[in-house]
Structure 1
Amino acid sequence: MDYIVTVFRIQKLPELKRAIIMSQPSSWPIPKGSMRFVLPRQIVSQLKSHRISQDLYPLALGFYQEARDHSMSRSRHDDLLLIYCVKGQGSLRIGKLTYKITAGDLVVIPKDVIHSYEASTNDPWSIYWVHCDGILLNEFLISLNHNLQSPVSPIGLHPRLANDFESLLDLRKTTQQFTAYLHASSLLRQILTHIALLKTQQQHQFDQSFNLDAIHTFMLTRLHESLDIDTLAARANLSKYHFIKRYKQLTGSTPINDFIRMKIEKACHLLDITDQRISEIAWTLGYEDAYYFSRSFSKVMGISPSQYRNIRLGRATYKE
């Protein structure tokens, strides 16, 4: 897999240099099979002000294959750096702590974090990497559940995620069109949200003390009932307090809210495929009071059950 290395020389643009500060790039010589792509400063300035891309946009990106002797040390860091290791090993140092990096690990280094990293001498890493910025950078970090004390996350090797990075690298083939850079910003957003999903799934797999899938299966088989926290906590062999806390850590929601959402999803299905009266559907889902069911439905869906059915019958639109 050969890559073309593109170098941009920006001259006599002091106003852009002042407006756009980038972390010092690595001086590591790019060998065959690797690539580094730096976005032109003028393009970065446009992405920074464009409404589609200003939330998140790339500054530089690349792929280093078996990057022997690759190392970097930054005393100033003014963007977000992502490194996804797909082969080999390396290490990261932040402050007095050193973190080992192996295949399947994701490294997240936010702004203003002084750091250094290097490839292993005996088993040099292969990595995708991207420097990025944007006005919603902190919100994306929150979605990644990033913890500065744990900058390395073992998310595993995922071909789809590698393909996402490859798609981002294809930007170098269409550099004459600004729409290509807008598309790259959207791809970068997709990569970060994909990583957030992978981290959540990985956390579920490693948490042997809390089987979330089993809890959700139990909920789905009890949609006709009225479950309470005590029953769900007992199912998970936890106290009510620890059950709620653990559930919310993993899902961002509460178990009862998710149980209600499951009921309403089932109600939507029944409204779509049957002609049952709303009161009958309410009874099927454990609601003795059809009015209370309608209130719960409206709270989740934003419309009443009858309005939802009217959409199926062509009497209403999605936006009404």
Structure 2
Amino acid sequence: MLKKADGFNSEKIIVLPHYQLNEIVDHPIISQLYITDIGYYPRATNHFRERPDGCDSYIFIYCASGQGWIEIDKQERFSVMEQSFAFIPADTPHAYGADENNPWSIYWFHLKGSQVAELMESYGPYDGPLQLALSDAEKILELFHQCYDLLSSKAYSAAHQIHISHTMRYMLSFIGLIPRRKQEEKTLAYIEQAILYMQERLEMNLTLESLVAYTNISKQHLNHLFKQATGSAPIDYYLRLKMQRACQLLDLTDKSIKEISLSVGLSDPYYFSRLFKKIIGASPSEYRSKLKG
């Protein structure tokens, strides 16, 4: 196929001149992280780049639509899909290009600076392009346009270059947290699934083994997730839910202590009363006697 590096309809591109880069390198704040090149290639048919010796800057690519690919050091080849973000480390041989049938539209920028490598390494090993949610993609484009617009009109201003540097730092830190947030959402899903299972069975006596079987994760992992999210072990949390239900029954019904005890799966009302006082801080009768609301 025909291969070209640039020259696309409606493209945008800014490359900082050498005299500005020389000034930036001497600046104590901006030199930590700064843009050297930035641009947008819409529907970049036949787009192709190959750098056998790598590039002296980090390259970041956000694929807004279409598809493309990135090859790192002739060993790893990644597909870059719509709404995904990828980067290429500095000084690493690489090639990348648009898909022949569905060429990508990409927002891209190059970063240099004394802290770029350290910042990127802090997010852990790179496993390939990161698929973004729509809200995350919109945030990244908002930050991109802020930087592009400032470089278009105020690249000469050190104050604005500092702002651009911090905006890019924020963008990278925002992107770096996305995988962690996804893991947290997955963890939260396990917890919510288990808690719903508990709430629907408060009249029973669930065991840790039954929760493990339901959530399909190991006992150790379930314990870890629960303590991390709620501060309690799973069964301790289950007992707290039982006492919460008992409080509702004490407030809203005329049931006896024994009847409420049975309603939450505890056949021994004395054990129920001791457990209730331990968790709630008052006996069932003391709790019922207090005015509410």
**TM exceeding 0.5:** yes
Given that 2:62 and 2:106 are in contact with CA atoms closer than 8 Å, whether structure 1 keeps it comes out as yes
**Please, what is the CA RMSD of the aligned residues?**
3.7
Q: d(CA) in 1 for partners of 2:124 and 2:148?
A: 26
SS at match of 2:97: strand
Match of 2:106 in 1: 127
Alignment match, 1:33: 10
- Partner SS state of residue 211, structure 1: helix
Report the counterpart of residue 182 of structure 1 in structure 2: 162
Instruction: Report the CA distance between 1:74 and its aligned residue.
Output: 0.7
Aligned residues: 218
- CA deviation digits over 1:30-85, x for unaligned, max 9? 33411111122232233334332233211111111111121100112222111000
Matched, 1:196 2:176: yes
Q: Which residue of 2 aligns with 1:211?
A: 187
- Partners of 1:119 and 1:244 in 2: how far apart? 46
Look up the equivalent residue of 1:80 and give its one-letter code: Y
SS in 1 for 2:30: coil
Query: What is the deviation of 1:178?
Result: 2.2
- Specify the SS of the correspondent of 1:44: helix
CA 1:242–1:256 in structure 2 vs 1: closer, same or farther (change >3 Å)?
closer
Contiguous gaps of at least 5 residues in structure 2 = 196-207, 232-278, 282-293
User: What TM-score do the two structures reach when normalised by structure 1?
Assistant: 0.57
Q: What is the match of residue 249 of structure 2?
A: none
Q: Output aligned runs, 1:267-278, within 5 Å.
A: none
Q: Residue type matched to 1:103 in 2? A: E
Quick check: 90-99 or 163-172, which moved more? 90-99
Letter in 2 for 1:124: P
Q: How much does 1:197 deviate?
A: 2.6
| Structure 1, 114-123 or 41-50: larger mean CA deviation | 41-50
Whole-Å separation in 2 of the counterparts to 1:239 and 1:142: 31
SS in 2 for 1:72: strand
Amino acid corresponding to residue 154 of structure 2 in structure 1: T
Change (3 A) 1:217 1:241: closer
| Rounded Cα–Cα distance in structure 1 between residues aligned with 2:128 and 2:68 | 14
Q: 2:49 corresponds to which residue?
A: 72
Asked whether the 8 Å contact 1:144–1:192 carries over to 2, the reply is no
SS of the equivalent of 1:78 reads coil
Q: Distance in 2 between matches of 1:50 and 1:244?
A: 50
| Percent identity of equivalent pairs | 25
Partner of 2:65: 87
Q: CA deviation at 1:119?
A: 0.8
User: Which structure has the larger Rg?
Assistant: 2
Given the superposition, is the C-alpha separation of residues 72 and 217 from structure 1 closer, same or farther in structure 2, using an over 3 Å criterion? same
- TM norm structure 2: 0.62
Matched, 1:140 2:116: no
- Higher helix residue share: 2
Query: Residues of 1 paired with 2:91 and 2:183: CA distance?
Result: 27
Matched residues in 2 for 1:77 and 1:154: separation?
A: 24
> 1:200 corresponds to which letter in structure 2?
R
Distance 1:258 1:172, change over 3 A: same
Contact 1:103 1:156 in 2 (8 A): no
Task: Answer yes or no: is the 8 Å Cα contact 1:90–1:100 preserved in 2.
Answer: yes
1:100 aligns with 2:76: no
Q: 1:217 to 1:77 in 2, by over 3 A?
A: same
Q: Which amino acid aligns with 1:155?
A: L
Secondary structure at 2:165 match in 1: helix
Q: How does 1:1-320 map to 2 (within 5 A)?
A: 28-75=5-52, 76-94=54-72, 95-147=74-126, 150-157=127-134, 158-170=137-149, 171-204=151-184, 210-213=186-189, 215=191, 238-239=217-218, 241-242=220-221
SS at match of 2:31: coil
* 1:212 partner letter: L
Return closer, same or farther for 1:241/1:134 CA change in 2, 3 Å cut-off.
Answer: farther
Aligned equivalents of 2:194 and 2:90: distance in 1?
A: 43
